């Protein structure tokens, strides 16, 4: 038995711990593409793309990935 609310929170917390907002914004400010940023932080490209979007890094830096 598990709590859906806790599962949703855990699903959000993991990526945030791996790539905090400040880290995602730094990568976007450095104009790193999603693949380079993922390699730098040791995460999957999909997770990096998610964090770049959800942190606001792409909007703030005016950066777009392919």
Q: Is residue 53 part of a domain?
A: yes
CA atoms within 13 A on the CB side of 40: 15
Q: How far apart are CA 66 and CA 64, in angstroms?
A: 7
Q: Is residue 66 part of a domain?
A: no
Residue 66 has a pLDDT of: 53
Residues across the chain:
66
Q: How far apart are CA 29 and CA 40, in angstroms?
A: 14
Token pair in block for residue 48: 């990096």
pTM of the model: 0.81
Number of domains in the chain: 1
Contacts of 56 (CB under 8 A, 6+ apart): 21, 25
Confidence category of residue 63, pLDDT binned at 50, 70, 90: low
pLDDT tens-digit readout, 40-54: 999 999 999 999 999
Which residues form the domain of 20? 4-61
Q: Is residue 50 part of a domain?
A: yes
Q: What is the mean pLDDT of the chain?
A: 90
Residue 10 has a pLDDT of: 82
């Amino acid at each position: 038995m598990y709590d859906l609310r806790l599962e949703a929170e855990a699903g959000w917390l993991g990526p945030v711990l791996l790539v905090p907002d400040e880290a995602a914004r730094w990568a976007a400010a450095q104009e790193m593409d999603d693949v380079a940023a993922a390699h730098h932080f040791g995460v999957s490209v999909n997770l990096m793309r998610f964090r770049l979007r959800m942190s606001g890094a792409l909007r703030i830096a005016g950066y777009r990935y392919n």
